[in-house]
Amino acid sequence: MSESFRVDLRGIVDLLSHHLYTSPQVYSRELLQNAVDAITAVQLDRPEYQGRISITSGDLTGDGSLEIRDNGIGLGERQVHELLATIGRSSKRDELGFARHEFIGQFGIGLLSCFMVSDEIRVSTRRGDEPTVLWHGRSDGSYAVELAAADRQRAEPGTTVTLRPRPGTEHLLTRAAITRLAGHYGSQLPFPVTVDGTELTGGTAPWARPEQESAATRRVRLERYCEEVFGFTPFDVIDIASAEAGLNGVAFVLPMPANPAVPAAHRVYLKQMLLAEGAERLLPDWAFFVRCVVDTTELRPTASREALYEDSLLAATRDALGDRLRGWLLRLGTGDPARLRSFLRVHHLGVKAIAVHDDEMLRLVEEFWPMETNVGPLTLAEFRARYGLLRFTPQLDEFRQLAPVAAAQGLAVLNAGYVYDSELIDRVATLDRELVVEPLRAADLTTHLERLDVADEGSLGPFLATADRVLGRLGCDVLVRSFEPSGLPALYLLDEDTAFQVDVRSTREQVDETWAAILGSFQSATDPRPRLILNHRNPLVRQVLTLGEPELTGMCLEGLYVQALLLGHHPLRPADTAVLNQSFLGLIGRAVAAGGAA
């Protein structure tokens, strides 16, 4: 024997109100959408048909109940039984059960949202010339249907839904509340919507382009809209469209940096009714520098209506809208480079993120984005034109360390330590095989530093012995070279590999045997050490080299070592801090003693 499921309506309404809808206020959206769909159903056969939705608020009805009346297609008696009383049954699907794109609704549950504010829903409806049908549904799951008596026959086809507020929800059905809610969801509808006789519709939609409106007036209108709705004055306003999604809209470019980690939320209208204020995934992830308002006829909402359904059409729309934004950027590059530069100052991260896999964007960045170099800000294109190659440091710390010395050697170097910069340089090189790309590492720089002549080198024996003893304890090698700027006494060179090995070594000393053994497998056999390069051209260093007194020489070396660490923004280990104190106090002691003696 087969039986039918029974449905506990209270349970379903509870489920919807707690898990699907964000607030009981959405009852107004669902009622408006049903009225809009009913009018659309008439317009499918009679496109010129003038729709109308009139709402009577709880203030005017006198008993607090709210009425929403439309002149849409209405329902006959049989349809009332079938559609209003069957949860999940909708007239808006085709024979195969697919949502028909003309309508907003599709799931057959929207009307139930009214049970969040009312224990009973009354519907009076008339289809064509059929008699008016009255339906009365209650939240306990019971309903009644009757044909209306002669004095309650509707004068024209259409539907009126009446809700009587449940105690505690009266405030959602007042004139003030329904004016705000119906205005929020329905103010852009293409036919009149009134509350207690006052029309809420009639303004120009943001995506509209009235023929008589000049470009300048439209721009002012859209800027004002953006200020009101999104809270900022846009850097630029871009029209966006996708024929496939029946989408028209406007993208507003943020005048301030946006957090790329926070998904951009857009205002989406579906057939001119507000669907969601925080719709995500409408644009590609990289387009975090715009906020959009769009109207679409083809994209589908999720059952909650607060988001767009992720399908192949949404994916294609995302690509199409992304192309529009790229086009805008490219046009800015050719038509208004100064403006593109000011855009990049704010949004370079977003654009660089695209450039990593988009050649045209890469060209824009190459040509217009000034990167940090040790000879002042230069674009990649300028750097290349001037020096014939791209020489860069991949790490910010390395750049800080090497930039001044490299500049004094006549070596220009780009700082590629910021997000995406190294990847962009790699890509430029992949696209142009002729281009020489040269990472500058700490170790490379020593080859650019001049060796001393044999006589000078020979006289340094005793000094180097002291230096090895003093700085060897700190795990650092000492070299003497001659380089510019002569004002720089010493340079501490630590490249990435050496830094890693130094880290592994010091961690091994602090952990137990098991971990020490694991870390040991990362340690290289050659045991590279950082180097302190003393500058033979520096007058003070020359004096230190010939001091001849090991204790004073040691203190000077320690002082120079710590100063070089600080200049290169290297962290000080406890041993370094101890050396700083020791040399500093020692040298003061020496100076004071010398002063006293004089």
Ligand X SMILES: Nc1ncnc2c1ncn2[C@@H]1O[C@H](COP(=O)(O)OP(=O)(O)OP(=O)(O)O)[C@@H](O)[C@H]1O
Q: Is 70 in the site for ligand X (CB under 6 A)?
A: yes
Residue choice 64, 108, 257, 417 for contact with ligand X (CB under 6 A): 108
**Torsion (CA) 223, 226, 232, 237 in degrees, nearest 10:** -60
Q: For the chain, what's the residue count?
A: 598
Q: Is 34 in the site for ligand X (CB under 6 A)?
A: yes
Q: Residue 386 — φ and ψ, nearest 5°?
A: -80, -40
Q: Residue 326 — φ and ψ, nearest 5°?
A: -65, -40
Q: How far is CA 194 from the centre of its chain?
A: 38
Q: Residue 493 in contact with residue 530, Cβ under 8 Å?
A: yes
Q: Residue 495 in contact with residue 535, Cβ under 8 Å?
A: no
Size of the site for ligand X (CB under 6 A): 22
Residue choice 83, 381, 435, 540 for contact with ligand X (CB under 6 A): 83
Q: Least separation, in Å, of the C-beta of 6 and ligand X?
A: 19
Q: Least separation, in Å, of the C-beta of 503 and ligand X?
A: 59
Q: Is 374 in the site for ligand X (CB under 6 A)?
A: no
Nearer to ligand X by Cβ, of 157 and 554: the residue is 157
Q: Is 90 in the site for ligand X (CB under 6 A)?
A: yes
Q: Is 276 in the site for ligand X (CB under 6 A)?
A: no
Rounded to whole angstroms, what are the CA distances from 299 to 21, 98, 239, 246, 518? 20, 14, 18, 8, 55
Residue choice 105, 165, 322, 559 for contact with ligand X (CB under 6 A): 105
Beta bridge partners of 373: 414
Window 167-206: residues binding ligand X (CB under 6 A): none
> What x/- string results for residues 35 through 54 when contact with ligand X is judged by CB under 6 A?
x--x----------------
* Cα–Cα distance, 30 to 83 (Å, whole number): 15
Q: Of the ranges 12-20, 30-38, 438-446, 532-540, which one interacts with ligand X (CB under 6 A)?
A: 30-38
Window 420-459: residues binding ligand X (CB under 6 A): none
Nearer to ligand X by Cβ, of 72 and 568: the residue is 72
Q: Least separation, in Å, of the C-beta of 148 and ligand X?
A: 16
Q: Is 270 in the site for ligand X (CB under 6 A)?
A: no
Q: Least separation, in Å, of the C-beta of 323 and ligand X?
A: 31
Q: Residue 377 in contact with residue 386, Cβ under 8 Å?
A: no
Q: Of the ranges 3-11, 67-75, 438-446, 510-518, which one interacts with ligand X (CB under 6 A)?
A: 67-75
Q: Of the ranges 65-73, 313-321, 415-423, 484-492, which one interacts with ligand X (CB under 6 A)?
A: 65-73
Nearer to ligand X by Cβ, of 38 and 412: the residue is 38
Nearer to ligand X by Cβ, of 35 and 308: the residue is 35
Q: Least separation, in Å, of the C-beta of 381 and ligand X?
A: 54
Residue labelled with tokens 């971990």: 515
Q: Each residue of 41-78: b (16+ CB within 10 Å) or e?
A: bbbeeeeebebbbbbbbbbeeeebbbbbbbbbbbbbbe
Q: How many CB atoms lie within 10 A of CB 196?
A: 14
Task: For residue 209, count CB atoms less than 10 angstroms from its CB and return exposed for 0-12, middle for 13-18, buried for 19 or more.
Answer: exposed
* Cα–Cα distance, 383 to 141 (Å, whole number): 75
Q: Is 159 in the site for ligand X (CB under 6 A)?
A: yes
* Cα–Cα distance, 14 to 5 (Å, whole number): 18
Nearer to ligand X by Cβ, of 104 and 428: the residue is 104
Nearer to ligand X by Cβ, of 31 and 253: the residue is 31
**What are the contacts of 364-367 at 24+ separation with CB within 8 A?**
364/329, 364/330, 364/333, 364/340, 365/424, 366/424, 366/428, 367/333
Residue choice 21, 27, 107, 343 for contact with ligand X (CB under 6 A): 107
Nearer to ligand X by Cβ, of 51 and 322: the residue is 51
Q: Least separation, in Å, of the C-beta of 90 and ligand X?
A: 3
- Using CB under 6 A as the criterion, which residues of the chain lie in contact with ligand X when the complex forms? 30, 34-35, 38, 70, 72-75, 83-84, 90-92, 105-111, 159
